[in-house]
Every structure is written in structure tokens, then in C-alpha cells.
Amino acid sequence: MSKKRTVKDRNGEEHEIDEDNFLVSGVLIKVDLCDIINNDVEGFLDLISEDAGFPLLMQQDYTIEGHEPENVLLLRVKGDVSMELENQED
């Protein structure tokens, strides 16, 4: 059995990654609806990557997991952390 591969986010938390350097479970974040409305697509993807703790995240994907009062959405963010891994090796 192979050892689980992990990567640390900017907060120092470890997340499991697959053989293609994609987050396995993703990261659950909270995003205010206004932040979504006030951004274009690139700005939104940058925002969720930063909030997930991986500013260099590529091929971002997200799913809505729920919501909270005051127009806050819960998003599960996944993506390719290859550039984060390269940055951590430096």
C-alpha cells in the first residue's frame, strides 16, 4: 500500500492529494455572496483559491455545500496544487 501524499495550505493544515496533485477532499470555505457578485470569473477563482489556502491553485473546481445566514455560501474547493508543491520545495 502506498503512503498518502499530502500538501500544506498557507495555514499549515495538511490535505491529501492524488497522483495527479489534485486535492482529494477539497477545502470547505465560506464566501459572501457579495464577493461572488462583485468579481468576474477570474477574480472569483482567485478569491476561492486564496480562501482555501492555496493561492497558486490551478484547474479550480467548486461545489456548493450549503449556506449560512447573511448570504454566506459554503463551497468545497478542489484543484491542482502542483504549483504549490513546487513553491514548498523551494
The DSSP element (H or E) to which 50 belongs, if any, is: helix 41-51
CA distance 76 to 25: 8
Q: What is the pLDDT along the chain (90 residues), one digit of tens a residue?
A: 567 899 999 999 999 999 999 999 999 999 999 999 999 999 999 999 999 999 999 999 999 999 999 999 999 999 999 999 988 765
Three-state DSSP at 74 gives strand
pTM of the model: 0.88
